[in-house]
Structure 1
């Protein structure tokens, strides 16, 4: 069943600042902000690595990731630069490896130190939402009984400042790789300022696709059963998550990798889907193979009409990186949004073609 097209035209659009240009050699932040603004986006997701890189040039020296006094000065300047380009800062990301550390561990101490520092950065840049990715810390280093209490504590720290927590399932997470996993956790956390960051890549790339197989698909069942299982998952998503518990939907596709990845973590400890995420995520309709439309439509069927945010890491189909005309690429993302919502509304092929 299609969704009402008129309501889809109200959806605000954002672009993740870290994801425009070559993933391995991104252009200067101000160039990216100009391109994003020129393409008609309303806001950015501000990435912590961009704060560091912009800070190095703005302050004239390398900024330590825990020098929060300097980072707040940089974040305040980024807000000014965004305002000059009519861009808001929708979210600070990606806050990683936070929840579930064992009591008394160095990891837990570091996690909460970072949380307080990032909250300061949010105040400095005028942002009210923090993205937290479901941790990929090795499960043997975690105390799973701490996951919900840790997220509650973080939510309460954020609420002191009127801020929200958007919890995302990273499909290489050690404890919550699927949307059902993070939704179960969010329900248990039970805080009014905690919701979901859903993502077309994280959902389809975890439950439907697999970069370690020759087919590029999960092969624990046959393809017909895989399609049925994934369809049922998306039907459940559309029926069970309240729209006000979805804070944003991130949009990207994925290339099928040139040859299957090893199922083992790499030398840095990154799992295969994490490596896939880093370099093989183009815009929809541009060479990828994930069922992006199906995920987007399922999310829209909840009644959600909040942020669609484009987070792509397009290192070309070989994952080797490529130079891009970032103004043209940002405009292409804006055009993808028009085509995607037209498709979700059941528009005809001719009507969809007119949005290209």
Structure 2
């Protein structure tokens, strides 16, 4: 697989983009014309820089609004095309992208468009250049790749072929199986982008919401298979217009982009170590300079202190199958926060090989010879992910108390706040490295704006990782992370915790008045929920009772009980929780 990326997909100057692409490991790039003309390096200097960096320059783009026009307009278009071809040759690029006309076309005729493309092809040949004709999804007359191919076929010129762009094909719901009708040597270029399923005009969708492969809803693997089966042998190139990526560090984005292509290649050809999704949570780690406040919470909630690590300032607490690691190592000035998640996987070595193949950054921690080694990687938000097949590490904790019975059963989910810059990257990371599936995104209203949430999970939902993106105004601040534990009797746990002095997150009385009317709950049931600061939700498949602790540092705990086949997270209660956390910080009702 030869990899390439359009410079429009990255932020920064053209020179910065080239350096980022080379450092990430791309084979080549597409030069976006505005990037060149806005820079102060000549085409020859860009050509030499790319050569020094080991990058091929694969495509120059875009040449717009050429065909489907009258003779007078076309004469000027030929002049403009010649100037573009001259620049391409100065760059050393032999393929130029020509988009179907969206603005100036006045003649809806395949024959006229073909005749004009033939003329453009003849001119391109004089410069040693080919043109790749692309049907834009919002083209005035030509908006379907199949019609673009008909026009190219009618043009009948060796320097005229097609460019296939996954967004323009899949966003319109066109059937990609028709790609098989195009000879492979006439597919001059392939551009790839994923996208979320949105209901909006296709131009805005394309210009602002494209994603890298694996982050959206398109079947890119099927699209690529059709193209390769037709005989295409050129690069797999990314063209991703996205407001986030054009504001973030180009080095990070380039690595993210290349990982998406490696993942896509694996989906098409199965070239990587097979993904082995985790079978459950191993532990969650909360890190701080001083974890004593978290210890108080865990004690009040019936967790058992299982001991201190024999070589590190780390303690282990457990209840049921749930394990919480409290880490004070190298944590000066840090408040309690979720620092790491441990996963149980069927084959730890296989997961480690896959992580390495997908360029996942390694999380480094000192491990002594007598201690269990973990596979380890750093997620895009900085959370460290560890994995093992057997929890032998538990024996490294000494002088603990034997674990007693508890209504707490296991870790239900770990809710991670994502910076807006890395939200899509996190989805791809968890999908590609761990084989998790992405649920449909949801938006929850909060006191400062909408919070976007998307749950990553394995097949049986024994691993659930909701990813929450705070409103941009917060930049991630003010939106705490939390760990949720499943219970066999959440009411009994709440009563025991109340007796032990637990400070619940105080839920307003208005919520319980609303709850009674919405679900028609009995008065004594509502009174019990009110007394214990419990929240309630119901679906057609069951119901859900849960409560929250106060926030310590940037983390709080949640305890949940699912009844029947309830599979949600009490999403309708989230605005109540967000408002309570923001407006009643420190307010307690016991």
Query: Within 5 Å, which residues of 2 pair with 1:128-139?
Result: 128-137=94-103, 139=105
Structure with the higher strand share, 1 or 2: 2
Are 1:14 and 2:4 an aligned pair?
A: yes
Q: Check 1:134–1:322 CA distance in 2 against 1; reply closer, same or farther (3 A cut).
A: closer
Query: Within 5 Å, which residues of 2 pair with 1:144-293?
Result: 144=109, 145-206=111-172, 208=173, 233-238=175-180, 240-257=181-198, 260-261=199-200, 272-286=201-215, 288-293=216-221
Q: Structure 2 CA distance, aligned partners of 1:36 and 1:19?
A: 11
Given that 2:213 and 2:261 are in contact with CA atoms closer than 8 Å, whether structure 1 keeps it comes out as no
| 2:258 corresponds to which of 327, 330, 334 | 334
Q: Structure 2 CA distance, aligned partners of 1:156 and 1:138?
A: 22
Shift of 1:331: 1.1
Q: Check 1:322–1:30 CA distance in 2 against 1; reply closer, same or farther (3 A cut).
A: closer
Shift of 1:154: 0.6
| 1:49 corresponds to which of 4, 21, 34 | 34
Q: Structure 1 CA distance, aligned partners of 2:275 and 2:185?
A: 32
The equivalent of 1:37 in structure 2 is: 22
TM-score (norm 2): 0.45
Q: Structure 2 CA distance, aligned partners of 1:192 and 1:113?
A: 21
User: How many residues align structurally?
Assistant: 279
Once the two structures are superposed, residues 211-247 of structure 1 have per-residue CA deviations (whole angstroms, 9 ceiling, x without a partner) of: xxxxxxxxxxxxxxxxxxx5xx323323x11111112
Query: Within 5 Å, which residues of 2 pair with 1:117-136?
Result: 117-136=83-102
Given that 2:65 and 2:104 are in contact with CA atoms closer than 8 Å, whether structure 1 keeps it comes out as no
Given that 2:9 and 2:246 are in contact with CA atoms closer than 8 Å, whether structure 1 keeps it comes out as no
Shift of 1:83: 2.0
Structure with the higher helix share, 1 or 2: 1
Given that 2:108 and 2:141 are in contact with CA atoms closer than 8 Å, whether structure 1 keeps it comes out as no
Once the two structures are superposed, residues 244-303 of structure 1 have per-residue CA deviations (whole angstroms, 9 ceiling, x without a partner) of: 11122111111344xx43xxxxxxxxxx322221111110122x2222222112112213
Once the two structures are superposed, residues 6-65 of structure 1 have per-residue CA deviations (whole angstroms, 9 ceiling, x without a partner) of: xxxxx21111112213xxxxx12211111111111122111110111114xx5xxxxxxx
Given that 1:165 and 1:193 are in contact with CA atoms closer than 8 Å, whether structure 2 keeps it comes out as yes
Once the two structures are superposed, residues 158-212 of structure 1 have per-residue CA deviations (whole angstroms, 9 ceiling, x without a partner) of: 1123211111111111121111111111111111122111111111012x2xxxx
| 1:311 corresponds to which of 236, 239, 244 | 239
The equivalent of 2:247 in structure 1 is: 323
Given that 2:31 and 2:59 are in contact with CA atoms closer than 8 Å, whether structure 1 keeps it comes out as yes
Shift of 1:310: 0.9
RMSD of Structure 2 on Structure 1 (CA)? 2.1
Greater Cα radius of gyration, structure 1 or 2: 2
Q: Structure 1 CA distance, aligned partners of 2:221 and 2:112?
A: 36
Given that 2:146 and 2:178 are in contact with CA atoms closer than 8 Å, whether structure 1 keeps it comes out as no
| 1:111 corresponds to which of 77, 84, 95 | 77
The equivalent of 1:267 in structure 2 is: none
Q: Check 1:53–1:123 CA distance in 2 against 1; reply closer, same or farther (3 A cut).
A: same
Shift of 1:349: 3.6
The equivalent of 1:221 in structure 2 is: none
Q: Structure 2 CA distance, aligned partners of 1:346 and 1:176?
A: 35
Shift of 1:346: 4.8
Q: Check 1:248–1:143 CA distance in 2 against 1; reply closer, same or farther (3 A cut).
A: closer
Once the two structures are superposed, residues 294-333 of structure 1 have per-residue CA deviations (whole angstroms, 9 ceiling, x without a partner) of: 21121122132311111111224xxxx7631221211121
